[in-house]
Amino acid sequence: MNINRIFERNNCLLLRALFCLASVCAVFNLVSTTQTAQAETDKHFLWSIRTQKNTVYVLGSVHFLRQDAYPLAEVIEKAYSDSQKIVFEADIDSGNAPELQAKMMGLGLYLDGQTLQQNVSEQTYKVLKEKVAAVGLPISQLDRFRPWFAALMLTVMELQKMQFDPSYGVDAYFFRKAKEDEKQRIFLEPVEFQIDLFAKMGPREQESFLKQTMEDLGVIESMVSDMVNSWQIGDVDTLGSILNMSFSKHPDMYDRIMVQRNINWVSRIEGLLNQDGNVLVIVGAGHLVGDQNLLQLLRKRGYKMEQK
Specify the range with the lowest mean pLDDT, choosing from 87-101, 255-269, 287-301.
87-101
Rounded to an integer, the average pLDDT of 202-207 is: 90
pLDDT-derived band at 207 (thresholds 50, 70, 90) equals very high
| The pLDDT value given to residue 6 | 45
Question: What local confidence, expressed as pLDDT, does residue 273 receive?
Answer: 94
pLDDT of residue 28: 30
Domain around 289: 3-26+40-307
Mean pLDDT of 158-180: 88
Query: What are the tens digits of pLDDT across the range 208-231?
Result: 889 888 887 777 766 777 788 888
Treating both helix axes as pointing N-terminal to C-terminal, what angle do 122-134 and 203-216 enclose, rounded to 10 degrees?
40
| pLDDT at residue 94 is higher than 70 | yes
Q: Which helix (H) or strand (E) holds 88?
A: strand 85-88
Work out the average pLDDT over 157-163: 81
Helices and strands (H, E) in the chain, number of each type: 15, 6
- Mean confidence (pLDDT) of the chain: 82
Per-residue pLDDT band for 27 (boundaries 50, 70, 90) equals very low
Please give the Cα distance from 144 to 129 (Å, whole number).
13
At residue 63, does pLDDT exceed 90?
Answer: no
Q: Which residue has the higher pLDDT, 249 or 183?
A: 183
With residue 17 as reference, give the H or E element that holds it.
Answer: helix 3-20
pLDDT of residue 40: 45
Q: In whole angstroms, give the CA distance from residue 62 to residue 229.
A: 11
Over residues 229-282, the pLDDT tens digits come to 888 899 998 888 877 776 777 788 788 888 999 999 999 999 999 899 999 999
Q: How confident is the model at residue 35 (pLDDT cuts 50, 70, 90)?
A: very low
Q: Looking at the domain assignment, is residue 33 inside a domain?
A: no
Quote the CA–CA distance of 137 and 17 in Å, as a whole number: 20
DSSP string, 224-257: HHHHHHHHHTT-HHHHHHHHHHHTTT-HHHHIII
Ordered strands of the 184-187 beta sheet = 184-187, 85-88, 279-284, 55-61, 46-50, 306-307
pLDDT of residue 5: 47
The pLDDT, as a whole number, for residue 283 is: 94
pLDDT in tens, 117-155: 999 999 999 999 988 888 777 888 889 999 998 988 888
Angle between helices 203-216 and 147-161 (to 10 degrees): 20
Q: What's the DSSP call for residue 84?
A: S
Q: How many CB atoms lie within 10 A of CB 42?
A: 11
Q: Evaluate if residue 39 carries a pLDDT over 50.
A: no
Percent of the chain topping pLDDT 70: 85
- pLDDT higher than 90, residue 51: yes
284 assigned to some structural domain: yes
Q: How many domains does the chain have?
A: 1
122 falls within a domain:
yes
Domain assignment present for residue 32? The answer is no
Q: Which of 286, 238, 242 is nearest to 262 (CA)?
A: 286
Tell me, what's the pLDDT at 77? Answer: 97
Q: What's the one-letter identity of residue 110?
A: Y
Q: Is residue 164 part of a domain?
A: yes
Distances in Å between the alpha carbon of 15 and those of 80, 101, 195, 256? 25, 9, 8, 18
pLDDT for res 41: 54
Vertex 84: Cα angle to 83 and 86 (nearest 5): 75
Residue with the larger pLDDT of the pair 34 and 280: 280
Q: What is the DSSP string of 176-218?
A: HHHHHTT-EEEESS-HHHHHHHHHTS-HHHHHHHHHHHHHHGG
